[in-house]
Structure 1
Amino acid sequence: MTRFLHLSFFLFSFIITAQLKSPSEFLGYELGSEFTRHYEVVDYYEYLAKEASDRVKLIEYGQTNERRPLLLAFVSSAENISNLENIRQEHLKDIEGSGNTSKAIVWLSYNVHGNESVGTEASMQTIYELLTTKSSYLEDTVVIMDPCINPDGRDRYSNWYNQYKNSPHQVDPNSKEHNEGWWSGRSNHYMFDLNRDWAWLTQVESQQRLKYYNKWLPHVHVDFHEQGVDNPYYFAPAAEPYHEVITDFQRDFQVTLGKNHAKYFDANGWFYFTKEIFDLFYPSYGDTYPTYNGAIGMTYEQGGSGRGGLGVITKIGDTLTLKDRIAHHHTTGLSTVEVASKNADKLNSEFKKFYKNRNFKYKNYVLNGDEDKIIALKKLLSKHEIAYGSPSKGSVKGFNYSTGTSGSMPISEKSLVVSTNQPKATLVKVLFEPNAKLSDSLTYDITAWSLPYAYGLNAIATTSSVDGTFTDNSSDEDKVVHIYVGKPTIDEGAYAYVTDWNSMEDTRFLAELFKNGIRVRKADHPFTIKGSTFKRGSLIITRADNQNKSDFIESLQRISQKHLVQLTSVNTGYVDSGKDFGSSSVQMITKPKIAMLSGKPTSTLRFGEIWHFFEQQLHYPVTILDSDYWDKVDLKDYHILILPGGGYGNYFTESQLTKLKEWVKNGGKLLAMGGAINAIDGENGFGIKKKEVEKDSSKNQPKPHKNSQREFIKKAITGAIFKTKVDNSHPLAYGYGTDYFTLKLGSDSYDYLKNGNAVYLEGNTKPVSGFAGSEAQKKVGSSLIFGVEQYGQGQVIYMIDNPLFRGFWENGKLFFANALFMVD
């Protein structure tokens, strides 16, 4: 009788499984013969969640900027799905060493780059086979699948391809369907690279995804990608450098997975490579961030990307099809789940060990600085569920970030302490360490990112404990508030209201004042009034300037409370020291009308950083002028024109450059960033000049070809942090001290200006963190970082380094705001 019941159950399960439609059956076309639009992908996952509800749980974890849903599918056996929450809670107990689960948690992330579109297609075939032919993998495994991390970018690509492809599709790589335009499908709505945003969380997709990632903290995480069409498949193990916190088990398990993948690829005669190009160092990738949270984090790269289309001829004459690409990603996806299911016990035991090991050199990172910057950092830490606290009053000793040597720093209850004695200890070390140990200078991305430098805070890394109050912080960053209690109030009868200019919160305050029609002045000299001292750039809001605004006091009170800005009410414009409020040194800030160039030759990434800054951080309008027609626009309508970084070359014609110069001469403000400066320097441009470096002829000797990469890296700077000098009497540097730590992304360098050198490098150019080649260090010595050239009645503002890089270099953002509001 028992045998009959087992047979009946097997037959019933087979019938139910057989009834599930494959992706091709559901979509109505063979998978790989078309690009599936995002809504169709959602439809298929919803179908599976309905028809196999005992084995699939589907949730919508958020929406994109363009209102497309973000999904997670939990796939496992019926028993595991019915016990899903208990499995999760028991798994998280492993962080403290008390868990008792034997299930492996595998998270598969697809299509983080929108035009690397095969991932989403492969995900549908993968989930289908996990529910049918490969269901045995699910007995000991919970698989979490994100079918499309970047729906906005994916639909941008698939819609573009469906619009421009030949019918039938054309495999000639020169055809239009293989050559996307300036705004490719790679990025999200704001043109950010979501695969470099895991740690910085500047984008809504990343923020919403991480809330669920932290709820599960999987044992294995795979980020599915594509690369150039001529490259074979890449899978783990990764290349050097590996960050030193990565454990032996994490390294070894990558090898285990790689060998299993190779078995299937070998059987099919498919080409692949490992241990090259894609390293495990920069913390904001979809492989490294999970690794620093205890997972086996990996990148898988299939040849194809936006150039692939439905089929394309490679350089060796083969035809790479979308069906081929699907087969490869589908194979590694299933192979990953297979290996995890066979090693579930080992994954669980090693996960416990990862979180048990918290024996790092630095026990605490203690930070002082502007309160708004402290709060901004707290918000980031809360998103990562990193605990922090307040120290007892006194002082701490340890490594001083500012000097690069041992030192001490006074602390108070307003200081911030982040300890490595917590579950997220490894991530804390990686994000806060002064200078990450680099085992190989040939890396895939930047080599420095330390948060104290990025947020402009004074910091000490201590090897001993720090007394203080440490609480279990909420993961809701909106609950992070200013230290002082109560809402700021103002004296309705005051002559003027004054506040400091130190941070991005101050810039948002100013932007909202402008939006509400409130006029504001700035102090170009320090002054003392009513016993308080205010620095250059401080905002002065007078009743006289706003006497025609009937709701002036009400609006000012509301806006200051919203931004928690403390206004000092004063009953006179007569200062104790400095310049009185009627002085020519206390000028009205112009409410600027701002335009920005888009399209070629700008970089989509550099453009997107600025676009996001205006709309999501500053909340101030910007007009976008496309390169196709900008020179037909009357620039007199705008106070500021921004040229984002990019590959300009000789982009501007002589007549266009003449037009720009005339506009600046008549009072316009031109803000040129990064590569844009190359297009406006030289004899026919403005006054900035490239730095000339004397060549050493003795080094101009033949070098072995095998050393070519090593020779090249001598001239490169791979995202290193340098300590610069700041002239904070210049309006471009209002709100800063005398030093600034800049993130330098290359060796482009320019001579000092005759005047207006707001931020610059002196002769000693050794980076404080990260890698810079020996030849590159010589090149950037005694060079400009940020400066202003007076040109007629207007100005040209130069930003050689990028203060808005990937939206995470918080301490650079005030320079950009100064360029908009303070430079005149």
Structure 2
Amino acid sequence: MTKLIRCLFFLLFVQPAWAQNQTPDQFLGYRLGSKFAYHHLIVDYFKSIQANNADRMKLIQYGTTYEGRPLMLAFISSPENMAKLETIRTNHLKSIGLLPGKPDAGVPPIVWLSYNVHGNEAVSANTSMKVLYELLNKGNALTQQFLKDIVILVDPCINPDGYERYTQWYNRVQNATPDVTPFALEHDEPWPGGRFNHYLFDLNRDWAWQTQKETQERITLYNQWMPHFHADFHEMGPSRSYYFPPAAKPYNKDVTSWQREFNELIGEYCRKYFDRNHWAYFTRNDYDLFYPSYGDTWPTANGAIGVTYEQGGGGRAGLALERASEHDTLTLDSRIAHHYASTLATLEAVMSRKEKVVSEFIQFHQDAAAAPLGSFKTYVIKTGGQARNARAFGQWLDRQGFSYGVAGKAMSAKGTELTSLNEQTIRIEDNDLVISAYQPKSNLLRILFDPKPALEDSVTYDVTSWGLAYIFGLKAYGLKEKLTPAAVRPAASDNALPESSPYAYLANWSESGDAAFLAELLKEGVLVKTSNTAFEMDKTSYSAGTLIIPKKGNEGIPFDKLVTSLANKHFVRLTPVKTGFVSSGPDFGNDNVVALKAPKVVAVAGDGISATAFGAIWHYFEQQIKYPVTIVNAAKLNTLPWNEIDVLILPDGRYNDIIGEKQLEGIQNWVKNGGKLVAMERATDAFVNKPGFGLTKKFSDKRRDDDTFKKFGEQQREEASDSSPGSMYQITMDRTHPLSFGCGDEYFTIVRDAYERDYLKEGWNVGYLKDDNYKAGFVGSKMAGKLKNTLIIGAQEMGRGQVIYLMDDPIFRAMLEKGKMLFGNVVFR
């Protein structure tokens, strides 16, 4: 009995301690900042805190990564706010017109804090645990006031796959006592690094395009909440201090005066913390508000206050790094302290203007819906012959949260074509897409459609042109009059099984999704042919590149059932034909009608290769067309079984130490025996002026006197003059070459560098830039000359094989629909 009484007393007195929140140190079993926490431990910590704070915290899983890790978001506020969380959300969306009805109460500011979009900027996820603990620490008077006034959303790690790639590596190689020596192994992160997600995409540049699973799932939730404020926490190089707003120029011209004012206010609150602690920082440099696909600019275009914070550190910093320039040692502890301070400054700034933060946000969306800015009040997308591309565009519009419809009837109107900027009378058909600017998100709509965004300052570090007409390869018009769209009608019915098996099925080759259809046909062992020239039959014209799927040669499969089911799966419209005779062009037995084989594709990865360029290729095959690609280490090129490979893709990279004379000879012999070599961007350097390869470099540079006497203080602008961070060009194409099939009359691309390749003397100059191919975006004065009269896409026959030279990446960030079309030609034709 005495033991039982003692046990009861023990339980009575320790139970309150169990109910208290554990600090990160207590939960992890080590001091926060002394080690990088694995992602599952961060998730478990958030779950453990929620268990004791059900009245003040709600943790949800909003998705999973490609590698299956959970994407989590914590909602934190006072018990009063949490009890009516869904009412706050719906009232908020009603107040800005994104839900029908009128709000029955005001709402507090909603602040979304995003940590660790770049995996090896690992301080952020670790900081999130300290932030969570202090927000729910009842002894912290400041944070408890935050909870009364604000609904706070905390995403501890936007990029778990990249974060775990970094932490797994670092925790394996670090010394027991962190080695602060800059050249130590623990400061030399191996390829591809932890910055990117599974497919090596930069998630911080994917907000507008939403090509990645993580982005799509996060923005689905974002659009359900539409926060008033979004803060994005990053790291930069370890030699730097700390960046917080005001942001650098250029600002997008559509950033409002209120957003600019609050950008300044954030800086004031951050300075208070940093000055008090004598911490170094900088403002108004490097980090601008122009390209609308970042974690600060995309929310800004959605009416929020979008802010980036950058802590010196990153993957090289590890747990501790000696910095000779600063005469100090940069530690994870200090990096956590800085991000924690800017988090508090953010919440203090919002709290100080809480009423105006909400009212300005409401006004932003109400004005957008009632009186949208800009010249165009309606956007019209022509869908004729591009039904599936238009369908994909509609899905993208849905992900953005835009409302749209169709014309509903045929009509004529005056409109500005958004690639040529020519005003003309256009014929609008009943099924053309119509997007009215009179909607709450019209500011984002206007920014993304902008064919030629104004750039107030040339010093910027990313894409400067992104017009949707270029990106999606659709004919788009801006109208000055308001059109009200009709509801989108259901898609046309599926292909039906014919009563009798046809001679062949025809399928157009004109949209990026066609490559996925072809890929699956080939994987299923279906014989597919294509015509290399246009033809006509039954009074219908078919362009070069049309797929011909014949009955003959496909006897061993359930031909009609398999082909029609795959066509329906990929939304492909089939045309069954009863003969191989055509009224104009090559008959189906002509030499110009060739069989397409299922190639064995190999792509190179590893040291020296651009991780993002390789990742775009990997994603293209696995996620876009779902066709197998074998990945090999670049260092193993000379050991490959060449007789087993049909296509070898060399992504952008530095191949000086990868392809020597022996490797070059082996590659050349393989090509001559029927292989296809695809060299992209800097990979083409390995073949310039090499025997047997027809690629040469233009020697157009002439040293100018003003280069000799350039000024040190103008170094940044001098570098900008020889750059193109991402400008839009129209490539002149040889429309008769198979690489151009399906790319349409206009092919636009985002040019980021000049390789100054001369035209091929022996081979095909498939795509090139002439004097007047520039369309939009910043191009430095020195770079502009290099981007004239230069080869962009070349094809050289070599024995029984061929070499494809791509001085431009057509699948850059998976953005360009016509680029995907071209890359499908590269692989399969």
Equivalent residue for 2:444?
427
Q: How does 1:457-476 map to 2 (within 5 A)?
A: 457-466=474-483, 468-469=485-486
1:686 paired to 2:693: yes
Residue correspondences, number: 799
- Report the Cα offset of residue 798 of structure 1: 1.1
- Report the Cα offset of residue 697 of structure 1: 3.8
Out of 763, 774, 795, which is 2:771 matched to? 763
* Whole-angstrom CA distance in 2 between matches of 1:658 and 1:236: 54
1:103 paired to 2:108: yes
* Whole-angstrom CA distance in 2 between matches of 1:684 and 1:163: 46
Equivalent residue for 1:448?
465
* Whole-angstrom CA distance in 2 between matches of 1:591 and 1:286: 40
Q: How does 1:105-254 map to 2 (within 5 A)?
A: 105-132=110-137, 133=140, 134-254=143-263
- Report the Cα offset of residue 309 of structure 1: 0.8
1:593 paired to 2:600: yes
1:412 paired to 2:417: no
1:501 paired to 2:509: yes
CA RMSD of aligned residues (A): 1.8
Does the 8 Å CA contact 2:495/2:564 hold for their aligned counterparts? no
- Report the Cα offset of residue 802 of structure 1: 1.1
Equivalent residue for 1:677?
684
- Report the Cα offset of residue 492 of structure 1: 3.6
- Report the Cα offset of residue 776 of structure 1: 1.5
1:58 paired to 2:59: yes
CA distances 1:280-314 after superposition (whole Å, capped 9, x unpaired): 01111000011111111011001111011111101
Does the 8 Å CA contact 1:491/1:569 hold for their aligned counterparts? no
Equivalent residue for 1:397?
414
- Report the identity percentage: 43
* Whole-angstrom CA distance in 2 between matches of 1:460 and 1:576: 36
CA distances 1:42-69 after superposition (whole Å, capped 9, x unpaired): 1100011111111010000011111111
1:362 paired to 2:367: no
* Whole-angstrom CA distance in 1 between matches of 2:497 and 2:514: 17
In the alignment, residue 393 of structure 2 is paired with which amino acid? L
Equivalent residue for 2:10?
none
1:381 paired to 2:397: yes
**CA spacing shift, 1:178–1:340, aligned 2, 3 Å:** same
Does the 8 Å CA contact 1:226/1:302 hold for their aligned counterparts? yes
* Whole-angstrom CA distance in 2 between matches of 1:678 and 1:230: 32
**CA spacing shift, 1:467–1:215, aligned 2, 3 Å:** closer
Equivalent residue for 1:9?
none
- Report the Cα offset of residue 684 of structure 1: 4.1
Does the 8 Å CA contact 1:404/1:768 hold for their aligned counterparts? no
The gaps in structure 2 that reach 5 residues or longer are 1-12
The gaps in structure 1 that reach 5 residues or longer are 1-11, 472-479
**CA spacing shift, 1:643–1:313, aligned 2, 3 Å:** same
Give the TM-score taking structure 1 as reference length.
0.94
Q: Which moved more, 1:525-534 or 1:704-713?
A: 704-713
CA distances 1:210-248 after superposition (whole Å, capped 9, x unpaired): 111001111111000001111101111111111111111
CA distances 1:551-578 after superposition (whole Å, capped 9, x unpaired): 2222112111111212111111111111
- Report the Cα offset of residue 718 of structure 1: 1.9
* Whole-angstrom CA distance in 2 between matches of 1:679 and 1:685: 12
Q: Which moved more, 1:641-650 or 1:76-85?
A: 641-650
- Report the Cα offset of residue 698 of structure 1: 4.9
Give SS of 2:451's match. coil
- Report the Cα offset of residue 92 of structure 1: 1.4
Out of 635, 647, 651, which is 2:654 matched to? 647
In the alignment, residue 439 of structure 1 is paired with which amino acid? E
- Report the Cα offset of residue 102 of structure 1: 4.0
Equivalent residue for 2:42?
41
Give SS of 1:355's match. helix
1:535 paired to 2:543: yes
Does the 8 Å CA contact 2:110/2:153 hold for their aligned counterparts? yes
Does the 8 Å CA contact 1:691/1:779 hold for their aligned counterparts? no
- Report the Cα offset of residue 429 of structure 1: 0.7
Equivalent residue for 1:341?
351
**CA spacing shift, 1:373–1:481, aligned 2, 3 Å:** farther
- Report the Cα offset of residue 405 of structure 1: 2.5
Q: Which moved more, 1:325-334 or 1:88-97?
A: 88-97
CA distances 1:609-646 after superposition (whole Å, capped 9, x unpaired): 00000000011000011113232111221110000112
Give SS of 2:776's match. coil
Equivalent residue for 1:438?
455
1:68 paired to 2:69: yes
Equivalent residue for 1:5?
none
* Whole-angstrom CA distance in 2 between matches of 1:570 and 1:409: 34
* Whole-angstrom CA distance in 2 between matches of 1:518 and 1:788: 27
Does the 8 Å CA contact 1:64/1:152 hold for their aligned counterparts? yes
* Whole-angstrom CA distance in 1 between matches of 2:667 and 2:156: 47
Q: Which moved more, 1:362-371 or 1:683-692?
A: 683-692
CA distances 1:88-147 after superposition (whole Å, capped 9, x unpaired): 111112213954424111100001111100101111101111111121211010000000
1:784 paired to 2:803: no
Out of 294, 297, 301, which is 2:310 matched to? 301
CA distances 1:360-384 after superposition (whole Å, capped 9, x unpaired): 2211221225122111111111111
**CA spacing shift, 1:492–1:177, aligned 2, 3 Å:** farther
- Report the Cα offset of residue 813 of structure 1: 0.6
* Whole-angstrom CA distance in 2 between matches of 1:326 and 1:627: 37
- Report the Cα offset of residue 649 of structure 1: 4.0
Give SS of 1:397's match. strand
In the alignment, residue 48 of structure 2 is paired with which amino acid? Y
In the alignment, residue 308 of structure 1 is paired with which amino acid? A
CA distances 1:454-509 after superposition (whole Å, capped 9, x unpaired): 111112112222354157xxxxxxxx964x24444445421111111111221111
Give SS of 2:792's match. strand
CA distances 1:692-718 after superposition (whole Å, capped 9, x unpaired): 214264544412322232233222112
In the alignment, residue 577 of structure 1 is paired with which amino acid? S
Equivalent residue for 1:660?
667
**CA spacing shift, 1:467–1:322, aligned 2, 3 Å:** closer
Does the 8 Å CA contact 1:395/1:411 hold for their aligned counterparts? yes
In the alignment, residue 616 of structure 2 is paired with which amino acid? E
Structure 1 segments, 4+ long, off by >6 Å, are: 14-18
